[in-house]
Copies of this chain bind each other. A is one copy, B any other.
């Protein structure tokens, strides 16, 4: 690979001038610019991104830090990433998919991240990724509330999870449901905590007592049960224990599908016997299932776009006003999976 010295020599100018022609940080005469460009073309020269980063302290990449391990992108993440990549590219930034430990200890050999900022997906309680980012002085935005003792607050883009659970419960209870089973996300995720609290509140508001086995948490991604989360729980609670359940709230579409399988295996029907509500689903898919699923439109793509924009503000790459805590609105999209009792 040709380097800047080669071009400078061939064009008969100094390295600084070559640098300048590419970065355009100070004016250059037309003749010199052309000589440099010509020499670069001949030598197939392209500036070395790493060397540039070392001095400018900018990598022009943002990290999307996802929990380490057998993490699986869902349809929700898919749309989220679409939003992130598109918006980041508008600012000239690339996106680094970064698997950082959420709970594990950092290894001493872990080098500082070659990123200018980060978006933390699905924060957990005492999220180690957030401590790491904080310690390393890397600006970051979280998608979801944080509960870290070392880091008090951070710019956050989030849905109004409490409101969402209230809306869902009001919706179901309004249809006459009092026996609602909630298949929540992983217990360590802050979103689960926000949801759980609101779930309790909503039930209490309607004077419904929460019975045992009506709240479950998605197992760790390392667990064997991860991919089938919802199946066992539904079978056991409804089928074996004979617990009275008329509605199920499922964290995401995968969970909803698992629950659907269980319901079918038990010999019950949706929505005649059991109503099903999905929180994080892909709208285009939800309309296609049998029956079409009723669920929440969380606007995952918009979450992605706004989290990038917030981060860009933090990096000084985006002008204008902004606020540190953005809430993305969400609405119920009705299918045919919830019926009135």
A112 within 8 A of B: yes
> 1/0 contact trace for A78-94 toward B, CB 8 Å?
10011001100100001
Using Cβ atoms and an 8 Å threshold, which residues of chain B touch A66?
85
Q: Which of A47, A66, A254, A260 has the most CB of B within 10 A?
A: A47
The smallest C-beta distance from A304 to any residue of chain B, in angstroms, reads 11
The answer, among B96, B99, B113, B260, for a CB contact under 8 Å with A89, is B99
A32 within 8 Å of B (CB atoms): no
Q: Are B289 and A114 in contact (CB under 8 A)?
A: no
Instruction: Report A1 CB to chain B, min CB distance, Å.
Output: 6
CB distance from A36 to the nearest CB of B (A): 10
Query: What's the nearest-Cβ distance from chain B to residue A56, in Å?
Result: 10
What chain B residues lie within 8 Å of A51 (beta carbons)? 54
Question: Could you mark each residue 270-299 of chain A with 1 if its beta carbon is under 8 Å from any beta carbon of chain B, else 0?
Answer: 000000000000001100111110000000
Asked if residues B46 and A114 are in contact (CB atoms below 8 Å), the reply is no
Cβ of A137 within 8 Å of any chain B Cβ, yes or no, is yes
Cross-interface CB contact of A111 among B49, B72, B136, B260, cutoff 8 Å = B49
Q: Across the interface, do B112 and A61 meet the contact criterion of CB distance under 8 Å?
A: no
List CB contacts (< 8 Å) of A61-75 with chain B.
61, 66, 68, 70-75
- Alpha-carbon distance between A231 and B78 when the two chains are bound, in angstroms: 23
Partner of A23, one of B109, B284, B288: B109
The CA of A78 and the CA of B77, in the complex, are separated in Å by 9
Q: Within 8 Å of chain B (Cβ to Cβ): is A24?
A: yes
Bound Cα distance from A68 to B90, whole angstroms: 11
Q: How far is the CA of A75 from the CA of B288 in the complex (A)?
A: 14
Q: Which residue from B86, B111, B288, B290 sits with its C-beta under 8 Å from A46? A: B111
Q: Taking A73-B78, A97-B95 as contacts, is the C-beta distance between A47 and B288 under 8 angstroms?
A: no
The distance in angstroms between the C-alpha atoms of A291 and B289, with both chains bound, is: 8
A46 touching B94, Cβ below 8 Å = no
Contact B284–A254 (Cβ < 8 Å):
yes
Q: How far is the CB of A90 from chain B (nearest CB, A)?
A: 10
- A61 vs B94: C-alpha distance when bound (angstroms): 12
A-B pairs with the 10 shortest C-beta distances? A290-B290, A49-B111, A95-B97, A78-B78, A288-B289, A46-B112, A49-B114, A47-B111, A50-B53, A89-B99
Known: A59-B114, A71-B85. 9 other contacts (CB 8 A): A1-B137, A37-B108, A50-B53, A61-B114, A72-B82, A75-B75, A96-B97, A285-B285, A290-B290
